[in-house]
């Protein structure tokens, strides 16, 4: 994998994991990673934004009853 | 027709406003931020109503409020931790916008819905179970009879495809 791909995949993984609350240790790891490189921040923002958008699309199959 | 749908969805929204705020409050644990999320959701609902044919309005509104609240919570937690690290010279204000600041355009909603509809059936299902129904990897793995690591791969692939769709638009 190229470096850019690794950065993107890492950003996506953080956004997916951020779905649940992160532990303090995970949060520190995320912040360290964001501080490492502006490219990491940019990828994280891009992934966050796409993630937000996907949450606004209605399901193609209606969810089953609760 | 589009105008009728908009009126209908916002009517449903207003009729269930308290329950929607309660749903946000459960995630955020803060009444003011829950109210912010509900107001933000209302603006986004009006955009979404113009773009999508929403078959289950109430379920959709809860999905939207839940996802916006989770997103808000995630950003707020990150920002709080970033401020604690401020003395280390991180440029906090530039890092993350608040969800309220993120304007959702109809064009982007259309683009993302199209990208999701293009996914292979299993990928789409895994992604929707995770993203729209809030299911864990484990539950999705059981439902689709695949491993949890494959669930994670499929979710990644779904977002990769959405990214590619935006880049080529």
Between CA B20 and CA B24 the distance in angstroms is: 6
Question: Can you read off the two tokens belonging to residue B37?
Answer: 């999320």
Q: What is the pLDDT of residue B94?
A: 47
Can you tell me the mean pLDDT for B82-92? 59
ipTM for this prediction: 0.86
Nearest to B159 among A12, A41, A58 (CB): A12
**Domains along chain B with CATH numbers:** 1-102 (1.10.1740), 105-169 (1.10.10.10)
* Placement of tokens 């495809």 in the chain: B161
pLDDT at residue B52 greater than cutoff 60: yes
Closest of B166, B167, B121 to residue B144, by C-alpha: B121
Enter the tokens of residue B102.
């993120």
Report the gap between the CA of B8 and the closest CA in chain A (Å).
16
- Nearest Cα of chain A lies from the Cα of B90 at a distance, in angstroms, of 7
Average pLDDT over residues B101-118: 88
SS3 content of chain A, % helix, strand, coil (to 5): 70, 0, 30
Residue B53 with chain A: CB contacts under 8 Å: 58
The predicted-structure confidence for A8-19, as pLDDT tens digits, reads as follows 999 999 998 876
């Amino acid at each position: 994998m190229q470096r850019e791909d690794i950065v993107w995949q890492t950003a996506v993984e953080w956004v997916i994991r951020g779905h649940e609350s992160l532990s303090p240790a995970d949060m520190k790891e995320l912040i360290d990673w964001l501080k490492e490189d502006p490219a990491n921040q940019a990828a994280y923002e891009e992934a966050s934004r796409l993630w937000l958008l996907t949450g606004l699309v209605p399901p193609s199959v209606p969810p089953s009853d609760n | 027709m589009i105008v009728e749908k908009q009126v209908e969805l916002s009517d449903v929204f207003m009729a269930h406003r308290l329950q929607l705020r309660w749903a946000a409050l459960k995630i955020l644990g803060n009444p003011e931020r829950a109210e912010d999320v509900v107001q933000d959701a209302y603006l986004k609902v009006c955009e979404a109503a113009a773009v999508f044919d929403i078959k289950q309005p109430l379920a959709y509104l809860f999905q939207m409020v839940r996802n916006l609240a989770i997103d808000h919570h995630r950003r707020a937690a990150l920002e709080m931790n970033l401020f604690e690290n401020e003395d280390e010279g991180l440029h906090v204000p530039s890092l993350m916008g608040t969800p309220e600041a993120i304007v959702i355009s109809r064009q982007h909603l259309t683009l993302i819905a199209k990208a999701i509809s293009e996914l292979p059936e299993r990928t789409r299902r895994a992604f929707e179970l995770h993203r729209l129904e809030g299911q864990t990897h484990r539950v999705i793995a059981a439902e689709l009879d695949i491993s949890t690591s494959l669930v994670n791969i499929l979710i990644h692939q779904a977002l990769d495809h959405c990214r590619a769709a935006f880049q080529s638009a």
